[in-house]
Structures are given as C-alpha cells and as structure tokens.
C-alpha cells in the first residue's frame, strides 16, 4: 500500500520515514509539505533536506488533500501543534485513515486552546478522532490521535494501578525527565547547547500540555482520578524519557500483588516489559518501541514507585504511530518495529 507523510523533516517525521521505509506492507511513501512546497516551481527532495537519507531522492510535494487521498491509503501527520488542526479537517470529514502525531486532536476544543494556545480544529472533525494509546487500542475510528511522549510513559506506568483501583487516586505524583529531541527542532533557550549541557532544567511546571491528556485518559479508566502532580525536567541526552511515578496503594497491597497487576495487564503486550523490584535505565529502551516498567513497593512509607522508560521518538511518537497503523490495518502490531534497544 501507499502511505503519505506530512512533515517529514522534524525529528519524529525522520524516524517515521525510516520505520515506514522498512515496513513490509508499504510499497511507497509519498511526502508532502505544508508551507511553500511547489510554489514558483520549487521542488525540494528528501536527501537534500536530510543528507542522512542517501539516495532517497523523494520529492516533497505540495499539500493537496484531494491528491493525497487519491494517491495513498493512509496519511501520517508528523507536524508541530497548530498545523493538523487546520489542515487535516478534510481527511477527518472524509473518513480517510489518519495517524496524527501532533497534539491537535487529543483534546476537546476548549482544553486544546487553553493548553496549546492555538486555534482548535472544528468540532465536527474533533468528534471523528479517537485518542489511541497503542497498547490499549480499541477503536474503529479512522482518525487516530497518537499520544504524546510524556503521556505514553506516564499512562503505561499507571494503567494497572488506576484500572484496577489499587491506589489512592489523589496521591499520584509524576517526576518525568526527557532528552532534548522531545522539544523538536525549533531552538529555544533551554535547548541551546550552552544551557542544556551539564545541566538539569525543570520547565512548564503545572502547564505542560500533556497534563490534560494524561488526566483525560486516567479518568476514562477510573473516574475517581481528578488531578495529578506532574513535573518535567530537561536532561542533557538526545533521546529518552524516564517517568518516575509515585502513589499510595490502597490497604492490602504489597510488592507481590502490585507486580501481579502489572504482569496480568501486560501479559500479551510484546512491547511492555515489567521488572519486579528492579528499575530500568534509559538505554534499556532507547532505539526500540518498548516501554520498560520497574515496579517497587516501599512498605515503610506505603508508596509504590513505578519507573517507566521509553524512547520519546519511537514509543513516544513514530514507533507508536506505526503500532497504531498496524492495528488500524489489521497487521501484526510488531510489524516493522524494533523490539530491541540500540546501545550507543
């Protein structure tokens, strides 16, 4: 089948192209821009914009929804927030298969504008979209809102505890850390080498756009959850997220029962690895579509700590997008996805 990518030049788009190029069910990848492609006869090519793709002399075509739908069976939006909310409406209205890596269709219009500070997509288009954490895929929607990277790590770390009502819903604290690629290619002061190198920086305290996304999904699983304490730290690495999650278990829980809840929940999930009493490192997941979960209960403080580790560009973006794509088209969910980390 043929698939389209809108926004290939960002970090997530680059990883997405690499994954799709090696996907056995995909014959051709068509690339489309969303700015000035095709104006005044200008044509840009993938290997010119991204020299690491040697020999991939693929043209970046002008954005044309009708042409995209005619030439492809699905489209991926790997764009910054505020782009697909405006450009993807024709696809949503037509029921054309879309996997959207941006945050534009994860929230309702009011929440989106509050947290993203950009105009939302139309109400009718938003109603056609489904938020899909790929390891809990359960939708017939043709428009998939791919989860954010922090949200993915946090939700996978909390799912068994919240779904099975094992913790005090008011006790959730998340200390999440991410590499610099999570901020995208657009330079900001905190991602400047001089600021990021040899440094740790807390940012977007109580204002990170993934907070409402996380709470929204937790409330789907358990309506007792009202809010979470969620902090983010930029660390001087390129890729990787470590979310350290703390919560107070309900009476009667111990290490064995808590680990059993995780093992039962993720028994048939090939990308989720549960560690009993041990904790993962970033490099246990980087380069793969995996999420490694370390579960440790402290009886002295009655606190369960879950350490959730993912690659933010893989499981947190492009890898999960391909996993959602596999579900949508009824391929094996592991097709075209790396299951082992890449140490470097």
Do 199 and 250 reside in the same domain of the chain? yes
pLDDT on residue 150: 97
Cα separation, 76 vs 53, in Å, equals 19
CA angle 333, 65, 314 (to 5 degrees): 30
**291 is an active site residue:** no
CA atoms in the 13 A half-sphere facing the CB of 51: 0
- pLDDT over threshold 60, residue 291: yes
Do 226 and 112 reside in the same domain of the chain? no
* Within a domain: 340: no
pLDDT band per the 50, 70, 90 thresholds, residue 330: very high
- pLDDT over threshold 60, residue 14: yes
Do 200 and 118 reside in the same domain of the chain? no
Using a pLDDT cut of 90, give the percent of the chain over it. Answer: 86
pLDDT on residue 37: 52
* Within a domain: 265: yes
pLDDT band per the 50, 70, 90 thresholds, residue 288: very high
**Domain CATH code at residue 221:** 3.30.360.10
- pLDDT over threshold 60, residue 324: yes
Do 233 and 266 reside in the same domain of the chain? yes
Do 69 and 180 reside in the same domain of the chain? no
* Within a domain: 71: yes
Q: Do β-strands 28-32 and 173-178 pair in parallel, antiparallel, or remain unpaired?
A: unpaired
* Within a domain: 342: no
pLDDT, one tens digit per residue, over 119-151 is 999 999 999 999 999 999 999 999 999 999 999
pLDDT band per the 50, 70, 90 thresholds, residue 6: very high
**Domain CATH code at residue 53:** 3.40.50.720
* Within a domain: 295: yes
pLDDT on residue 216: 97
pLDDT on residue 197: 87
When pLDDT is averaged across residues 284-293 and rounded to a whole number, the result is 97
Cα separation, 47 vs 57, in Å, equals 5
Range list of H helices, the chain: 11-21, 46-49, 65-71, 84-87, 89-94, 109-116, 123-127, 149-163, 193-196, 210-221, 255-265, 319-328
Cα separation, 69 vs 46, in Å, equals 21
What DSSP assignment string belongs to 287-320?
TSS-EEEEEEEETTTTEEEEEEEE-TTIIIIIHH
pLDDT band per the 50, 70, 90 thresholds, residue 182: confident
**Contact in structure between 3 and 76 (CB atoms under 8 Å):** yes
Number of domains present in the structure of the chain:
2
* Within a domain: 338: no
- pLDDT over threshold 90, residue 89: yes
pTM for this predicted structure:
0.95
Do 94 and 217 reside in the same domain of the chain? no
* Within a domain: 333: no
The residue from 149, 259, 318, 328 that is catalytic is: 149
pLDDT on residue 41: 55
- What does pLDDT average to over the chain? 94
- pLDDT over threshold 60, residue 158: yes
When pLDDT is averaged across residues 190-203 and rounded to a whole number, the result is 86
Domain assignment of residue 259, given as a range: 149-312
């Amino acid at each position: 089948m043929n698939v389209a990518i809108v926004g290939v030049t960002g970090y997530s788009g680059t990883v997405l192209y690499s994954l799709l190029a090696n996907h056995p069910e995909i014959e051709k990848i068509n690339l489309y821009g969303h700015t000035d492609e095709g104006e005044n006869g200008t044509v840009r090519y993938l290997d010119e914009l991204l020299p690491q793709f040697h020999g991939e002399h693929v043209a970046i075509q002008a954005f044309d929804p009708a042409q995209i739908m005619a030439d492809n069976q699905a489209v991926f939006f790997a764009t910054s927030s505020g782009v697909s909310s405006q450009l993807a409406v024709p696809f949503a209205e037509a029921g054309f298969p879309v996997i959207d890596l941006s945050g534009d269709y994860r929230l309702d219009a009011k929440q989106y504008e509050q947290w993203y500070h950009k105009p939302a997509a139309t109400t009718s288009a938003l109603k056609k979209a489904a938020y899909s954490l790929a390891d809990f895929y359960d939708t017939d929607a043709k428009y998939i809102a791919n989860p954010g990277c922090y949200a993915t790590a946090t939700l996978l770390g909390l799912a068994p505890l919240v779904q099975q009502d094992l913790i005090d819903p008011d006790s959730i604290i998340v200390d999440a850390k991410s590499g610099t690629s999570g901020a995208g290619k657009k330079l900001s002061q905190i991602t400047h080498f001089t600021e990021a190198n040899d440094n740790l920086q807390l940012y977007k305290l109580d204002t990170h756009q993934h907070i409402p996304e996380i709470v929204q999904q937790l409330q789907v699983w358990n309506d007792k959850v009202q809010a979470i304490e969620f902090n983010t730290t930029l660390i001087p690495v390129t890729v990787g997220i470590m979310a350290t999650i703390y919560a107070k278990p309900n009476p009667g829980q111990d290490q064995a029962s808590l680990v059993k809840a995780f093992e039962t929940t993720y028994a048939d999930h090939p990308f989720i690895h549960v560690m009993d009493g041990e904790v993962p490192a970033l490099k246990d997941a980087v380069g793969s579509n995996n999420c490694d979960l370390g579960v440790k209960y402290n009886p002295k403080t009655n606190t369960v700590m879950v350490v959730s580790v993912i690659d933010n560009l893989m499981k947190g973006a492009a890898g999960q997008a391909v996993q959602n794509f596999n579900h949508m088209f009824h391929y094996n969910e592991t097709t075209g996805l790396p299951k082992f980390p890449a140490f470097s």
